[in-house]
Chain A
Amino acid sequence: MTAIVDSSTPTRTVTGPRRTRGAGVEARPAWFIYALLGALLVGSTYPLYWSFVMGSSDKSALVEMFPPLLPGSQFWTNVLEVVDTVPFWMALLNSVIVSSVVTISVVFFSTLAGYAFAKLRFRGREGLMVFVIATLAVPTQLGIIPLFMLMKQFGWTGSLGAVIVPTLVTAFGVFFMRQYLIDVIPDELVEAARVDGASMIRTFLNVGLPAARPAMAILGMFTFMTAWTDFLWPLLVVPQNPTLQVALSQLQSAKYVDYSIVLAGAVLATLPLLLVFVLVGKQLVSGIMAGAVKG
């Protein structure tokens, strides 16, 4: 298993220097490589930019053969229209609450369980871990019908609890934290804390948590994004008390759909994640790359 994120861990140095330049293999690539990357850049950003251009114009812009190159002046007007059409502020608040609670809970419980699986000895550990990994490949989403009936039975439909509770701790989180902690904390450190008379939970708080911090940040980032983008389940249980994605989808079901407003809404709903991207984009990249190396 490869160490996650931290490239200075000994596992990497054992395999030798990873990037040695020279021998002709690592020459600077030719210009057309950059042209290709430039085309990719346009491809990955243009649809978003186009929606901003459209979302900031009035609907006549949509009919034109050539889309305008520059944004129009109507963005705020359209945004106000979005806010008027759907319960935007409530939805935003709901999304913030759901995503924050889910993130804090997933990060905490996954770290706790991941730490136990990585560093504590107990009977049945291997078997339970295999079970956790196996659940990763099980499409539990397909249990929505009984889950919906359960929520209805409890009278939870319509409340945010119905959205939050099913995702309070995830198999991926547990697995991710275990993979990270297994290499990062030396066993001696845990034992030393025990010898000093620290209780199990003390040892976790003093040794496990500080070591887990970088991975917790990555897990938190991805959990927040997943919770923020979730659509099917919130659409089912809280259509009247919507999260942002559900509210946004309702823009489209108005009787006369004005697409400049729909697109302004699409840009609006993306803004918080774009902010995340601008602030911690690099960590996002290394997070994706770290989560990948599993084998």
Chain B
Amino acid sequence: MTSAALNSTPAILPGSGGMRGALSDLFWRRPQLLLLLMLLPPVLWLGIVYIGSLFALLAQSFFSIDEFSGLINRQFTLKTYGDLLQAANLDIILRTVTMAALVTLASAVVAFPIAYYAARYARGRWKALFYLGVMLPLWSSYLVKIYAWKLILAKEGILTWLLAKLHLLWLLDAWLSLPVVGGNSLSVSFTGTFIVFVYVWLPFMILPVQAALERVPGNLVEASSDLGASPGQTFRNVLFPLALPGIVAGSIFTFSLTLGDYIIPQIIGTSRLFIGQAVYSQQGTAGNIPLAAAFTVVPIVIMSFYLWGAKRMGAFDAL
């Protein structure tokens, strides 16, 4: 730039003029105003439509149903929560929580090596392939995947066929003859429900674990090894503790999604109910909205405790 040009340029440029210019200047001077405008619609949506209906639901759980007329008695009572403690209902809760815990555990075990590979070794094209592989199942309909699994797990399905070819059918039969986890075929057993739950929620575990591992500097693993730790010791003392927030973050998804799901156990599994199915049938055919609402409160309470524990473990730093 010549010195003449340098001299003729003003130090402060004129405003660009018009509405947009004035608005830009206003937002620059008052950033809170812009923030307010951006946040207002989502806050209204969350506040009224979402939280509001949640509270309406909560209120319902304190009503009761008249057993003769089937009408809702709009008087405050804890009777519905008492009903929740009946053996049959308690059974449903216990079954669902156990399933959610097992699914979470299995997801963590299956996800860790995949996430570790992606965080440590996959580069460039392989990394893209990893993301595609993990995300691709999420693009197709959830129902399609579940029905596909029903066929896979059915007595005439590919899994039985494969095991027969491998002369391992006795193993499957032995497993299916076990109480609780067994059944006529995998597609009508809790084992089947479990397998499909793990499959469907796995991406929600892999991604946060991968994010957590991605943030572990590679030289920490080297440092551990340098200080005399065998690979197993390095895993226990360095990798696992540092990945734990990611695992907990992932488990929030797998645990809460399993707690609330009512489609998978309906299509694949036994006739015994899970919480989601109980809610579905109570508010539908049975018309017992208060009990359905009380059932809905159960996962909310469990998840509140779970999130509180997870927060203390630093899980939200990994999200």
To the question of whether A and B form a pair in one complex, the answer is no
List the interface of chain A (C-beta within 8 A of B).
none
Residues of B within 8 A of A (CB): none
